[in-house]
Structure 1
């Protein structure tokens, strides 16, 4: 299980499946949104994702 939240703790999520592959997206949208060279992305089934706080 994986959990995560934003820095202000207003949004939180839970992933119940194991994450096996993580990719780095280098498209212009991801670079612009992070201000870095890219962003980490993984693909999971929607049934394995749950919002804790939104």
Structure 2
């Protein structure tokens, strides 16, 4: 990849879109974007302790 001035070349832009419908029938949409990584976490439901995790690019 061509260098673009970032120090952390593994991090990337990510985006999550939430959509729904209000009680009056109008639609809504919320977009959250970030730069960095995603943390995938598996948690024990009874004790609320982390069991496993993985860190991936945000894209």
Structure with bigger RCO (C-alpha 8 Å, 6+ apart):
1
Normalized per residue, the structure richer in strand is: 2
Q: Give the number of the structure whose alpha-carbon radius of gyration is greater.
A: 2
Q: What's the TM-score once normalised by structure 1's chain length?
A: 0.27
Q: What's the TM-score once normalised by structure 2's chain length?
A: 0.26
